[in-house]
Structure 1
Amino acid sequence: MIGYAIGQASPLICFAIIGPKLKSLIPDGHSIIEYAWHRYGKFTHLICILVTISYLFVFLTAELTAISSA
C-alpha cells in the first residue's frame, strides 16, 4: 500500500519541482508535450502524442476488462 501511495504521489511532486521551470521556458505552454514540441521539434512531439495515446488505450482496455469480469 505504501508503494502504491508513493507511485501516485511521485508524479505530482516531480511536476511541482519541474513545473515552474517549464513555465518560465514556455509561458504559453500547457503541458510537457508542448514543451517537447518547443524544445525538440515536431517529430518528438508526435512521438510523445503516440506514446500518450497508446498508454491511454491500454489503460482503457484494462479498465473495461476489470469491469466486465466484476
Structure 2
Amino acid sequence: MNASFAPLQNDSFLRACLRQATDHTPVWLMRQAGRYLPEYCATRAKAGSFMGLATHVDYATEVT
C-alpha cells in the first residue's frame, strides 16, 4: 500500500536527523516528560523557569 501525504511545511528536524543541511539547528523539547516528579520540580525551582532549566547545561543534564 503506497500512502500519499501532503508535503511537509517544516522538515528541518527530519533533515537534521538524516544529516542533511538545514538553515538552522532544530531543537526538540519534551516539556511534559517527568514534570510531576519531585526531583524535576526541585531542579526546575532552582532554575527559576522552564527556559532557565533548558538553557543551563547543569540543570538540563540533571533532568535529562
Q: How high is the TM-score relative to the length of structure 2? A: 0.25
Structure number with greater CO (CA < 8 Å, separation at least 6) is 2
Larger Rg, first or second structure (1 or 2): 2
Q: How high is the TM-score relative to the length of structure 1? A: 0.24
